[in-house]
Amino acid sequence: MKLNAALPSLVATLLIVATQSAAGGGQQLTVGYYNAKKCGGVEPIVSDEVYRALAADRSKGAALIRLFFHDCWVKGCDGSVLLDASPRNPYPEKAAGSSIGLRGFDVIDRIKSRLESVYPGVVSCADILAFAARDATRYLSDGHIDYAVPSGRRDGVVSRAKDADDTLPGSTFSFADLKTNFAKKKFDAEELVVLSGAHAIGSAHYPSFRDRLAAPRGEIDARYQTALRNAARNRSRLVANNIRDESYAFKKDAGYPTAPVNGRRDYLNNTYYHNAIDNRVLFRSDWALRTDAFAFGKLKEYRDKPKEWDSDFAEAMVKLSKLPAEGKDFEIRKNCSAINNPSRY
């Protein structure tokens, strides 16, 4: 073979190798995995279902992005966060304290049943979740944040509440706790700051911010704290992670401009960093990023450079999606809420 004929295929091979990365159980992840399997409809079907779900309820986008984080952080991206309790496994990840408020399972189930009818037994729930989080990110950012998702994951068969509680960061974590937690997954302090920006969207339940009602001066803007206390007193079930998305009454209590932003909640951009610098973020773990000089510098950088945050966030989401599944047994689940043979585990 002449060299100039061999070169293009060599370059192609090198490109494929460069976009592959290890998943658990010896799988390789590749961008376009389902296209190569002649199942080109997979990613379009996921996008279609995610867009329908978000058009009906925009808040489902935040739900899917968090679900993806919780899946990948706990023993890698293996769909284990999706499993329901069963007689042999009464306390799956869903039952963990750190799973408070997890939702969006209905969207995943709908995508799965549609994919099963077109490509039975082909698409893993872990891949569906990784695609769905990307599609939600694109939707909520009006296309400003977009990225290719490597796929070819398989589904795990183990899901334990204890693993979730031992692994996921808590809302009361200090900066040192957060840094250690992220370092265990080989994510650095910059990536911690980048990913925390996801708290520009979505909402939280009272137990997740209760401690902030009594936070000492300096740890929270005084008027924002007053608004939180009022919301708690008024028994608001949920508080928006982003003050931008709060009610008129809340903003008035907080001394935040009450003019509607643009009528849409959950717009994913760098507003988190404006709130952080203004000391109006919801969780203690959000506030904690101010307590470290390097992280504080990054908060200001991402406040001032919205496009840089968009692309760094996309990159960090891809890195999250590559956290390798840690189990030994894998399968392509037929139903994302249950393993294929519930009598085995």
Ligand X SMILES: *[C@@H]1O[C@H](CO)[C@@H](O)[C@H](O)[C@H]1NC(C)=O
Q: Is-catalytic flag, 70?
A: yes
Smallest gap from residue 265 Cβ to ligand X (A): 9
- Residue of the chain from 24, 66, 72, 138 that contacts ligand HEM (CB under 6 A): 66
Phi-psi domain of 33 (left: phi exceeds 0; alpha: psi -120 through 50; beta: other):
alpha
For residues 45 and 126, which CB has a smaller minimum distance to ligand HEM in the complex?
A: 126
Per CB under 6 A, does 195 bind ligand HEM?
A: yes
Partner from ligand X, ligand HEM, none contacting 227, C-beta within 5 to 8 A by type: ligand X
Nearer to ligand HEM, 103 or 252 (CB): 103
Does 72 bind ligand HEM (CB under 6 A)? Our answer is: no
> Exactly one of 25, 32, 41, 170 binds ligand HEM (CB under 6 A); which one?
170
Residues 26-45 that bind ligand HEM (CB under 6 A): none
Query: Is the separation of the CB atoms in 180 and 119 below 8 Å?
Result: no
319 touches ligand HEM by CB under 6 A: no
Least distance from C-beta 127 to ligand HEM, angstroms? Answer: 18
Which of 202, 242, 251, 314 binds ligand HEM (CB under 6 A)? It is 202
Give the whole-angstrom CA distance, residue 341 versus residue 343: 5
32 is in an annotated binding site: no
- 331 binding ligand X? (CB under 6 A): no
Q: Is 81 helix (H, G, I), strand (E, B) or coil?
A: helix
Helix (H, G, I), strand (E, B) or coil at 27: coil
Size of the site for ligand X (CB under 6 A): 20
Out of 45, 46, 54, 65, point to the residue binding ligand HEM (CB under 6 A). 65
Rounded (5°) CA angle 337-187-321 = 35
Instruction: Tell me the number of residues near ligand HEM by CB under 6 A.
Output: 26
Binding status of residue 253 toward ligand X by CB under 6 A: yes
By CB under 6 A, is residue 226 in contact with ligand X? no
Q: Is 211 annotated as a binding residue?
A: no
Nearer to ligand X, 215 or 232 (CB): 232
Q: What is the DSSP string of 131-167?
A: HHHHHHHHHHTTTSS--PPEE---EES---HHHHHHH
Cα separation, 179 vs 50, in Å, equals: 32
Q: Contact region for ligand X (CB under 6 A) — 42-50, 204-212, 230-238, 292-300?
A: 230-238
Q: Confirm or deny that 199 is annotated as ligand binding.
A: yes
Task: Rule CB under 6 A: say whether 262 interacts with ligand X.
Answer: yes
Copy the structure tokens of residue 276: 């952080």
How far, in Å, CA of 94 to CA of 150, rounded?
25
Alpha helix (H) residue ranges in 153-256: 161-167, 175-183, 189-196, 206-209, 222-233, 248-254
Between CA 188 and CA 262 the distance in angstroms is 34
Region from 2-10, 67-75, 205-213, 269-277 binding ligand X, contact rule CB under 6 A = 269-277
Q: And the tokens for 195?
A: 């990913």
Contact predicate 94/168, CB 8 Å: no
φ and ψ of 264, to 5 deg: -110, 135
First to last CA, the chain: 53
Give me the residues paired with residue 131 across strands: none
Site residues (vs ligand X, CB under 6 A): 84, 113, 227, 230-231, 234, 249-250, 253, 261-262, 267, 269-271, 274, 306, 335, 337-338
Known binding residues for substrate are: 169
Known binding residues for Ca(2+) are: 71, 74, 76, 78, 80, 93, 253
**Residues designated catalytic:** 70
Known binding residues are: 71, 74, 76, 78, 80, 93, 169, 199, 253
